[in-house]
């Protein structure tokens, strides 16, 4: 499935704004994403397995609150990041 990557994390994806990955849940999707782009998961998920407070994940434009949320495989995923600039 397609995953939109925010600017601050694109250094992990060779500057790609949209990447492909797969997983039967959001948790598995992020693990697979980390295999392809080592280190990116830790920027999104903290040591307590929670989504970092300045990162939000959306599946089909709705916010993910539970990493065990199941995925069918064809969803559109957005990862967004708080931006400070103005």
- Candidate residues 2, 3, 8, 36; the one interacting with another protein per rule CB under 8 A: 8
Is 22 or 83 the residue whose CB approaches another protein more closely? 83
Helix H, strand E, coil C: the string for 17-62 is CEEECCCCEHHHHHHHHHHHCCCHHHHHECCCCCECCCEEEEECCE
- Candidate residues 48, 61, 73, 74; the one interacting with another protein per rule CB under 8 A: 61
Contact 53, 38 (CB under 8 A): no
User: Any contact of residue 56 with another protein (CB under 8 A)?
Assistant: yes
User: Any contact of residue 36 with another protein (CB under 8 A)?
Assistant: no
CB of 86 vs another protein, minimal distance in Å: 4
DSSP letter at 73? Answer: S
């Amino acid at each position: 499935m397609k995953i939109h990557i925010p600017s601050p994390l694109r250094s992990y994806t060779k500057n790609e704004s949209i990447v492909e990955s797969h997983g039967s849940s959001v948790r598995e999707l992020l693990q697979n994403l980390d295999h392809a782009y080592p280190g990116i998961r830790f920027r999104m998920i903290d040591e307590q397995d929670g989504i970092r407070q300045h990162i939000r994940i959306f599946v089909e434009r709705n916010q993910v609150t539970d990493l065990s949320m199941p995925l069918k495989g064809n969803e559109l995923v957005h990862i967004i990041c708080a931006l400070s600039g103005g």
